[in-house]
């Protein structure tokens, strides 16, 4: 039922004066209206008898009487707080997600949108219990009694007439991310203003955004770092398609929302899309990083923005990475949840969004930038994923043969160590692996690398894989850039599994005899 022949507010996804933020906001409004029409099927159940007409790229709002009454009803229903002081977004249907996700969204919105205390009123610190793997963990969060979204109808309407304003509305950073006045003396010329209908749309941006936590592999594994929030802002082409995608993301467990690169945060947003081989696919988004500049900072600051473009091949490859590489996991302790992030998966994701091979710059990341060998050691627990990825790629299968040749040569070298080791003692495999890596590091040009590789294969003795694929391997070494072969040599070393010997032989490849799963990460939730 439409109560007016002319819409009071019209929004179009294709309007020339919109930005990515406006289009995301429109989508959040679309999602919210879809949910509200299930709760209040008839216009007479809504304030001002407000109704709407929705298409894949337009939104039209109709109502009767006071604009303030209709808009107040819409905003009050859209942005709520539950009984425990958590933000409740009707557009996401928060009641259907578990408490852990609800807290994650609440804390993400507070860190990204409501960073200044003038945009919210804090309530009590709430102590609650979360269930992780059938274990109860105590958790604290800051509740709210009010936030700026809830009373925005007062900004949209004239106080005396209660009708929608016709002039521009001044806005600040909580409504338009990144929109701030840099200096008080220039605020008259640098202030941000919006049409009332666009200001209303911007109110709904938090509904569509996705919040991840960024973790950087720490040199000091015991040092606690403040949370670094990543907010993913998608480019929108179709309201319904974008809405379904955002609702699907609620399937993720909270531990999956921890990453170690901005690229993976962007790919994660689209990772549940169903790719059809015969249908074209292209998506784009922005990933914004918010973090505290130092320990004394009271709120996170925008530190960087990365634009990410995703085609069919990139997403399909990332979906394979999700499937075959180790996922994040959590360690449950009294009052604490430690999230362990797989940085190898994130490094590969970053390569994909840069448009290069998934393995392309692993030498720089795992050698030049990895002084403590932390990332290099992580490769061992991901060795099955490395092999499967190579097997699934026609382009990489030749490198898989090379890995087998290289590891067979390693076995030949290590056999001499086993033979010389006294009975009852562990062979010094760890030292040998470190030496191989060091020898590889000394290769600074094509000639030095090929001299090393030839000598290494000779020292390995009889090599059945090399004999079976002589022409193929010789051609690969001759025609491939030597830096690529060096990367695959590194992967062969890192993913090599020694033959069974005494207990914990596999773990001897790691510093201090730690298993990969026991290496502490800075990531933790309280």
- Spell out the SS3 assignment of 429-442: HHHHHHHHHHHHHC
- Cβ-Cβ contacts under 8 Å for 178 (sequence gap 6 or more): 288, 302, 305
Are residues 59 and 50 in contact, defined by beta-carbon separation less than 8 angstroms? no
What pTM was estimated for this model as a whole?
0.85
Which of 25 and 172 is assigned the larger pLDDT? Answer: 25
Beta bridge mates, 309: 284
Q: Give the integer Cα–Cα distance in Å for 2 and 69.
A: 17
Above 70 in pLDDT, residue 353? yes
- Going by pLDDT thresholds of 50, 70 and 90, the confidence category of residue 203 is very high
Q: How far is CA 428 from the centre of its chain?
A: 39
Helix (H, G, I), strand (E, B) or coil at 88: strand
- Cβ-Cβ contacts under 8 Å for 183 (sequence gap 6 or more): 190
CA angle (176 as vertex; 171, 180 as ends), nearest 5? 65
Among 74-83, 121-130, 326-335, the least confident range: 326-335
Are residues 174 and 113 in contact, defined by beta-carbon separation less than 8 angstroms? yes
Q: Give the integer Cα–Cα distance in Å for 103 and 337.
A: 14
Beta bridge mates, 332: 337
Above 50 in pLDDT, residue 99? yes
Beta bridge mates, 142: 125
Are residues 422 and 415 in contact, defined by beta-carbon separation less than 8 angstroms? no
Q: Give the integer Cα–Cα distance in Å for 387 and 419.
A: 29
Q: How many CB atoms lie within 10 A of CB 519?
A: 18
Cα distance from N-terminal residue to C-terminal residue, the chain: 49
- Going by pLDDT thresholds of 50, 70 and 90, the confidence category of residue 500 is low
Above 50 in pLDDT, residue 306? yes
Work out the average pLDDT over 153-162.
Answer: 93
DSSP states of 274-336:
---TTS--EEEEEEEEEE-SSTT-SS-EEEEEEEEEEEHHHHHHHHHHHHHSPPPEEEEETTE
Work out the average pLDDT over 379-396.
Answer: 85
Work out the average pLDDT over 276-290.
Answer: 92
- Cβ-Cβ contacts under 8 Å for 446 (sequence gap 6 or more): 482
% of the chain at pLDDT higher than 70 = 88
The most confident of the ranges 235-239, 365-369, 498-502 is 235-239
- Going by pLDDT thresholds of 50, 70 and 90, the confidence category of residue 363 is confident
- Which pLDDT score is estimated for 295? 67
**For residue 75, what is the enclosing H or E element?**
helix 67-78
Beta bridge mates, 128: 139
Place of tokens 């600040």: 172
Burial 345-382 (b: 16+ CB within 10 A, else e): bbbbbbbbbeeebbbbbbbebbbeebeebbbbbbbbbb
User: How many CA atoms lie within 13 Å of 385's alpha carbon, on the beta-carbon side?
Assistant: 22
Are residues 67 and 163 in contact, defined by beta-carbon separation less than 8 angstroms? yes
Strands (E), 13-119: 51-54, 58-62, 79-81, 87-89
Above 90 in pLDDT, residue 204? yes
- Which pLDDT score is estimated for 366? 81
Task: Provide φ and ψ at 128, rounded to 5°.
Answer: -140, 175
Q: Give the integer Cα–Cα distance in Å for 97 and 472.
A: 53
Are residues 108 and 290 in contact, defined by beta-carbon separation less than 8 angstroms? no
- Which pLDDT score is estimated for 218? 56
Q: What is the per-residue pLDDT across 222-272, written as a single tens digit (0 to 9) for each?
A: 455 678 999 999 999 999 999 999 999 999 999 999 999 999 999 999 999
CA angle (388 as vertex; 385, 389 as ends), nearest 5? 80
DSSP assignment letter at 169: E
Q: What is the per-residue pLDDT across 12-52, written as a single tens digit (0 to 9) for each?
A: 999 999 999 999 999 999 999 999 999 999 999 999 999 99
- Which pLDDT score is estimated for 499? 64
Burial 49-58 (b: 16+ CB within 10 A, else e): bbbbebeebb
Work out the average pLDDT over 418-444.
Answer: 79
- Which pLDDT score is estimated for 504? 40
Work out the average pLDDT over 148-156.
Answer: 95
Average pLDDT, the chain: 85
- Which pLDDT score is estimated for 494? 82
Q: What is the per-residue pLDDT across 445-496, written as a single tens digit (0 to 9) for each?
A: 999 999 999 999 998 888 898 999 999 999 999 889 999 999 999 889 888 8
- Which pLDDT score is estimated for 381? 84
Are residues 230 and 263 in contact, defined by beta-carbon separation less than 8 angstroms? no
The angle that helices 262-270 and 343-353 make with each other, rounded to 10 degrees, is: 80
Q: Is 230 exposed, middle or buried (0-12, 13-18, 19+ CB in 10 A)?
A: buried
- Which pLDDT score is estimated for 332? 78
Q: Give the integer Cα–Cα distance in Å for 364 and 231.
A: 27
Q: Give the integer Cα–Cα distance in Å for 211 and 9.
A: 30
Which of 69 and 180 is assigned the larger pLDDT? Answer: 69
């Amino acid at each position: 039922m439409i109560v007016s022949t002319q819409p009071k507010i019209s929004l179009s996804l294709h309007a020339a004066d919109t930005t990515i933020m406006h289009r995301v906001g429109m989508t959040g409004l679309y999602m919210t209206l879809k949910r509200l029409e299930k709760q209040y099927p008839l216009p007479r159940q809504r304030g001002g008898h407000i109704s709407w007409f929705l298409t894949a790229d337009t939104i039209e709002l109709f109502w009767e009487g006071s604009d303030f009454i209709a808009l107040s009803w819409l905003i009050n229903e859209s942005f709520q707080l539950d009984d425990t002081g958590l933000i409740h977004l009707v557009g996401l249907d928060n009641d259907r997600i578990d408490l852990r996700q609800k807290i994650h969204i609440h804390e993400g919105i507070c860190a990204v949108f409501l960073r200044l205390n003038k945009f919210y009123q804090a309530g009590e610190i709430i102590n609650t219990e979360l269930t992780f793997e059938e274990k109860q963990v105590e958790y604290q969060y800051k509740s709210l009694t009010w936030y700026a979204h809830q009373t925005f109808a007062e900004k949209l309407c004239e106080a005396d007439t209660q009708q929608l304003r016709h002039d521009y509305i001044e806005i600040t950073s909580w409504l338009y991310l990144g929109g701030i006045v840099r200096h008080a003396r220039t605020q008259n010329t640098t202030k941000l203003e919006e049409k009332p209908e666009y200001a209303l749309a911007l109110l709904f941006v938090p509904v569509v955004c996705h919040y991840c936590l960024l973790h950087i592999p720490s040199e000091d594994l015991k040092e606690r770092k403040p949370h670094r929030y990543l907010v993913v802002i998608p480019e929108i082409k179709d309201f319904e398609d974008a809405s379904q995608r955002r609702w699907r993301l609620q399937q993720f467990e909270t531990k999956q929302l921890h990453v170690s690169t901005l690229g993976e945060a962007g790919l994660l947003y689209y990772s549940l899309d169903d790719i059809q081989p015969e249908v074209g696919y292209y998506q784009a988004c922005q990933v914004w990083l918010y973090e505290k500049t130092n320990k004394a900072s009271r709120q996170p600051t925008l530190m960087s923005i990365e634009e990410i473009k995703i085609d069919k091949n990139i997403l399909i490859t990332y979906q394979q990475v999700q499937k075959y590489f180790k996922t994040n996991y959590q360690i449950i302790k009294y009052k604490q949840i430690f999230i362990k992030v797989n940085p190898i998966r994130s490094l590969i994701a970053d390569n994909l969004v840069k448009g290069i091979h998934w393995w392309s710059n692993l030498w720089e990341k795992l050698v030049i930038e990895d002084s403590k060998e932390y990332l290099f050691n992580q490769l061992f627990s991901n060795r099955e994923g490395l092999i499967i990825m190579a097997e699934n790629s026609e382009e990489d299968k030749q490198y898989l043969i090379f890995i087998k040749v290289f590891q067979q040569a390693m076995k030949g070298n290590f056999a001499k160590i086993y033979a010389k080791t006294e009975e009852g003692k562990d062979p010094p495999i760890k030292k040998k692996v470190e030496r191989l890596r060091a020898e590889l590091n000394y290769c600074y040009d094509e000639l030095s690398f090929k001299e090393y590789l030839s000598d290494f294969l000779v020292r390995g003795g009889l090599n059945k894989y090399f004999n079976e694929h002589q022409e193929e391997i010789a051609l690969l070494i001759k025609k491939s850039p030597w830096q690529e072969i060096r990367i695959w040599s590194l992967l062969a070393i890192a993913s090599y599994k020694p033959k069974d010997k005494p207990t914990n032989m596999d773990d001897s490849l790691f510093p201090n005899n730690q298993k990969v799963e026991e290496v502490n990460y800075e990531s933790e939730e309280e």
